[in-house]
Amino acid sequence: MAAGRSRIPATKHSVERFTLDNGLRVVLAPDRSAPVVGVAVVYDVGIRSEPEGRTGFAHLFEHLMFQGSENLEKLAHFRHVQGAGGTFNGSTHLDYTDYWETLPSNALERALFLEADRMRGPRLTEENLRNQVDVVKEEIRVNVLNRPYGGFPWLRLPPVMFDTFANAHDGYGSFDDLESASIADATDFFDRYYACGNAVLAVGGDLDVAEATALVERHFGDVPARPAPVRPDFAEPDLTGERRESYTDKLAPLPAVAAAWRVPDPIGDFENYLPYVVLAEVLTDGDASRLVERLVLRDRTVTSIGGYLGLMGDPFDVRDPTAMVLQAHLPPGGGVDKVLRTIDEELDRLAADGLAADELARTQARMATHLLRETDAVLGRTLQMAVLEQQRGDPGLLGELPRLVGEVTEEQVRAAAATLRPQRRAAVEVVPGGGAR
Q: How far apart are CA 346 and CA 282, in angstroms?
A: 11
Confidence of residue 2 (pLDDT cuts 50, 70, 90): very low
Look at the pTM and tell me if it is higher than 0.75.
Answer: yes
With cut-offs at 50, 70 and 90, classify the pLDDT of residue 9. confident
Q: Please list the residue range(s) of the chain that carry CATH number 3.30.830.10.
A: 16-220, 243-432
Residue 323 has pLDDT above 50, yes or no: yes
Integer Cα distance of 85 and 93 in angstroms: 27
> Is the pLDDT at 4 greater than 70, yes or no?
no
pLDDT at 217: 98
- pLDDT bin (cut points 50, 70, 90) of residue 339 is very high
N residues, the chain = 437
**87-133: pLDDT as tens digits:** 999 999 999 999 999 999 999 999 999 999 999 999 999 999 999 99
Residues 6+ apart with CB under 8 A from 145: none
Tally helices (H) and strands (E) across the chain.
16, 11
Amino acid, res. 33:
S
Is the pLDDT score of 152 beyond 70? yes
Phi/psi of residue 93, each to 5°? -125, 180
Q: Do 87 and 107 form a contact (C-beta atoms < 8 A)?
A: no
Residue 345, number of CB atoms within 10 A of its CB: 11
Q: Give the pLDDT of residue 301.
A: 98
Q: What pLDDT, on the 0 to 100 scale, is given for residue 305?
A: 98
- Give CA–CA dist 194/191, Å, rounded: 6
Res 156 pLDDT > 90:
yes
Q: Indicate left, alpha or beta for 121 from its phi (over 0: left) and psi (-120 to 50: alpha).
A: left
Kindly report the average pLDDT of the chain as a whole number. 95
CATH topology for 16-220 is: Cytochrome Bc1 Complex; Chain A, domain 1 (3.30.830)
For the segment 49-64, the average pLDDT, to the nearest whole number, is 96
User: Which string of b and e fits 37-68 if b means at least 16 CB within 10 Å?
Assistant: bbbbbbbbbbbbbbeeebbbbbbbbbbbbbbb
Predicted local confidence at residue 6, as pLDDT: 56
Residue 437 has pLDDT above 80, yes or no: no
pLDDT at position 434 is 62
Confidence of residue 5 (pLDDT cuts 50, 70, 90): low
**pLDDT of 1 over the 80 cut:** no
Position 185 scores a pLDDT of 96
Cα–Cα nearest to 111, from 132, 87, 95: 87
Q: What homologous superfamily does CATH list for 243-432? A: Metalloenzyme, LuxS/M16 peptidase-like (3.30.830.10)
Q: Distance from CA of residue 335 to its chain's centroid? A: 31
